[in-house]
Structure 1
Amino acid sequence: MTEANIVHTTAAPRTRESLAADLRMLGIVPGETLLVHSSLKALGWVNGAETAVIQALYDVITPEGTLVMPAMSPDLTDPAHWRAPPIPQAWHEAVRQSMPTFDLRRTPSRGMGRIAELFRTWPGVLRSDHPTSSLVAWGAQAGRILRDHPLEDPFGEASPLARLYDLEARVLLLGVTFESCTILHLAERRAWPRQALIQEGAPLIVAGERRWVRYGTPILRVDLLADAGRHLVETGIARGGTVGSAAVHLLPVRETVDSTVARWQQMGLTGE
Structure 2
Amino acid sequence: MKRITSAQLCSQLKNLGINNGDVVYVKADLLSIGIIEGDVRSGLLNALLAVVGETGTIITAAYTKTFFFPMFNKNRKFFSAASTPNTGSLAKLMLKHPASIRSKHPTNSYVAIGPASSQLLSNHDHTSSSFEPLRQVMRLKGKCVIIGCIDSSPGHTTTHLAQHDLGYASQNIFKGLVGATFSLDGETKVFLRKDFGGHNLGARKIYSTYLDKGVIRTSEVGNTTGLMSIAQDAYDIDIDLLKKDKKLILCSSPTCFSCRVCWKYNILDIPKYISAKLIQKFILMLKAIS
Residue in 1 that maps onto 2:20: 30
> Structure 1 residue 173 and structure 2 residue 140: aligned?
no
Which residue identity does 2:192 align to in structure 1? Y
1:150–1:207 distance in 2 versus 1, CA, 3 Å = closer
Query: For 1:108, which of 66, 84, 87 is the aligned residue?
Result: 84
1:152–1:233 distance in 2 versus 1, CA, 3 Å = farther
* CA displacement, residues 202-234 of structure 1 (integer Å, 9 cap, x when unaligned): 1211331334x0424123243532212332234
Report if aligned partners of 1:14, 1:46 keep a CA contact under 8 Å in 2. Answer: yes
Report if aligned partners of 2:25, 2:145 keep a CA contact under 8 Å in 1. Answer: yes
Residue in 2 that maps onto 1:186: 161
Residue in 1 that maps onto 2:192: 215
Farther off after superposition, 191-200 or 124-133: 191-200
1:210–1:40 distance in 2 versus 1, CA, 3 Å = same
1:16–1:100 distance in 2 versus 1, CA, 3 Å = farther
Work out the CA distance in 2 between the residues paired with 1:18 and 1:255.
28
Residue in 2 that maps onto 1:259: 237
Deviation of 1:253 (Å): 0.5
1:261–1:20 distance in 2 versus 1, CA, 3 Å = same
Work out the CA distance in 2 between the residues paired with 1:243 and 1:124.
25
Query: For 2:209, which of 205, 214, 231 is the aligned residue?
Result: 231
Report if aligned partners of 2:162, 2:239 keep a CA contact under 8 Å in 1. Answer: yes
1:249–1:201 distance in 2 versus 1, CA, 3 Å = same
Identity of matched residues, %: 21
Count of matched residue pairs: 243
1:215–1:21 distance in 2 versus 1, CA, 3 Å = same
Report if aligned partners of 1:188, 1:221 keep a CA contact under 8 Å in 2. Answer: no
Please give the TM-score of this superposition, normalised by the length of structure 2: 0.76
Q: Which has the larger radius of gyration?
A: 2
Report if aligned partners of 2:77, 2:180 keep a CA contact under 8 Å in 1. Answer: no
1:62–1:54 distance in 2 versus 1, CA, 3 Å = same
Residue in 1 that maps onto 2:283: none
Which residue identity does 1:131 align to in structure 2? P
Work out the CA distance in 2 between the residues paired with 1:154 and 1:249.
26
Work out the CA distance in 2 between the residues paired with 1:260 and 1:32.
22
Which residue identity does 1:139 align to in structure 2? G
SS of the aligned residue for 2:58 comes to strand
Which residue identity does 1:163 align to in structure 2? Q
Report if aligned partners of 2:163, 2:169 keep a CA contact under 8 Å in 1. Answer: no
Which residue identity does 2:84 align to in structure 1? P
Work out the CA distance in 1 between the residues paired with 2:218 and 2:169.
33
Work out the CA distance in 1 between the residues paired with 2:219 and 2:198.
27
Work out the CA distance in 2 between the residues paired with 1:79 and 1:215.
9
SS of the aligned residue for 2:41 comes to helix
Report if aligned partners of 2:105, 2:130 keep a CA contact under 8 Å in 1. Answer: no
Report if aligned partners of 1:155, 1:161 keep a CA contact under 8 Å in 2. Answer: no
Report if aligned partners of 2:29, 2:88 keep a CA contact under 8 Å in 1. Answer: yes
> Structure 1 residue 133 and structure 2 residue 123: aligned?
no
1:34–1:131 distance in 2 versus 1, CA, 3 Å = same
Structure 2: stretches of 5+ with no match in the other structure: 249-262, 266-290
1:53–1:241 distance in 2 versus 1, CA, 3 Å = same
